Structure 1
Amino acid sequence: MLIGYARVSTADQDLTPQIEALKQAGCERLYSDKASGAKVNRPGLAEAIAYARSGDVLVVWKLDRLGRTMKGLVDLSADLDEKGIGLRSITDGIDTSGTAGRLVFNILAAMAQMERELVRERTTAALAVARRKGRFGGRKTMMTEERRNAATKLLKTEMSSREIARAIGVSISTFYRHFPAR
């Protein structure tokens, strides 16, 4: 039996494209989660694995729907293999029932882990640069010193707050954040 598993990272995201692909692949049972792939506790995945029997195949739309770490993916694949359950990824073209499929699975799992580590490294480096520049979070403000000075001068005129915001090139909410009394 083919057992489908779909996952999105947040509640705002839509499972429909994955579920449709799993149905087209012939999955008879479908399970899903709306949770980060980095989370170990995913009830839908646990139910899918608990339901599966030897000879069944767990089918996912893409390998990263199962998890983000190489260790997690390899451990899951090994657990499934011990139970006689295959693993198939529609998009990645992986089927662990054969030697070549297991090799490709391990290569892609390593790539997923590497991608996650690269994102973490880039984020850490960008935060370090921002700290050196005196920024400690969030986006750089649009209200520069020049804009603040121009707004202060324009506040002495008959212009409305909306007109001043437009004239100095900021949104009205940014203007009010810096000039709340207006």
Structure 2
Amino acid sequence: MLVGYVRVSKADGSQTTDLQRDALLTAGVDEAHLYEDLASGKKDDRPELAACLKALRAGDTLLVWKLDRLGRDLRHLVNVVHDLTERKVGLKVLTGQGAAIDTTTPSGKLVFGIFAALAEFERELITERTKAGLASARARGRKGGRPFKMTPAKVRLAMASMGQPGTNVGDLCVEIGVTRQTLYRHVSPTGELRTDGAKLLEG
């Protein structure tokens, strides 16, 4: 079964999903199997996306108009598609830079594999920089002091670091200069954005 997901984009000024809906319907998605969110893609609260992902079954294919309709960022996108792949659900992108992605075909799987490899490479680089920063802080005898406020850059670093095995939360808090309470208010222990973090990135 084909299932479609659409979302408005404030970035390009489009507050309607007509173009996306028409494209998905033309591609064979039944209107009864269309899910639509009106929230920004940067927000965690996308109930229709959650419902869409929950409704998908093995053998189904999820269709989106463009790649940026589905994922908040590369890491989120890779995680979503990895989950779909594990559940034997396909993903097909109709247009834009991700139009070559169709995980129901060998070539489409290859293209997405490159995306996944780049995301993994990015995570490893961030982890290496975090470890180097922590070592530098320890060498300087840094023991904290008055915490600085959270910034978008710190949120992104925390997201990447918290999802990595072996990350010491105390050391991470020292490195980015915030308390544990502040950190957990913005990012979950698994690296997912929380409400305050999402608001800051939207800023």
Q: What TM-score do the two structures reach when normalised by structure 1?
A: 0.55
Q: Deviations over 1:128-167 (max 9, x none)?
A: xxxxxxxxxxxxxxxxxxxxxxxxxxxxxxxxxxxxxxxx
RMSD after superposition: 2.6
Matched, 1:30 2:38: no
Which secondary structure state, in structure 2, belongs to the residue aligned with residue 94 of structure 1? coil
1:150-165 mapped onto 2 (5 Å cutoff) = none
1:1-182 mapped onto 2 (5 Å cutoff) = 1-10=1-10, 13-28=15-30, 29-91=33-95, 92-107=99-114
Q: Distance in 1 between the 2:20 and 2:6 partners?
A: 6
Q: CA deviation at 1:100?
A: 2.1
Q: Tell me: CA distance 1:48–1:84, structure 2 relative to 1, closer, same or farther (3 Å).
A: same
Which secondary structure state, in structure 2, belongs to the residue aligned with residue 41 of structure 1? coil
Give yes or no for contact 2:64–2:92 (8 Å, CA) kept in 1: yes
Q: Tell me: CA distance 1:107–1:35, structure 2 relative to 1, closer, same or farther (3 Å).
A: farther
Runs of 4+ residues deviating >6 angstroms: none
Which secondary structure state, in structure 1, belongs to the residue aligned with residue 5 of structure 2? strand
Structure 2 letter corresponding to 1:21: A
Q: Distance in 2 between the 1:21 and 1:107 partners?
A: 26
Structure 1 letter corresponding to 2:72: R
Q: Distance in 2 between the 1:106 and 1:34 partners?
A: 30
Q: Distance in 2 between the 1:60 and 1:23 partners?
A: 11
Q: Distance in 2 between the 1:99 and 1:69 partners?
A: 24
Which secondary structure state, in structure 2, belongs to the residue aligned with residue 22 of structure 1? helix
Q: Distance in 2 between the 1:64 and 1:76 partners?
A: 12
Q: Percent identity between the aligned chains? A: 47
Structure 2 letter corresponding to 1:35: A
Larger Rg: 1
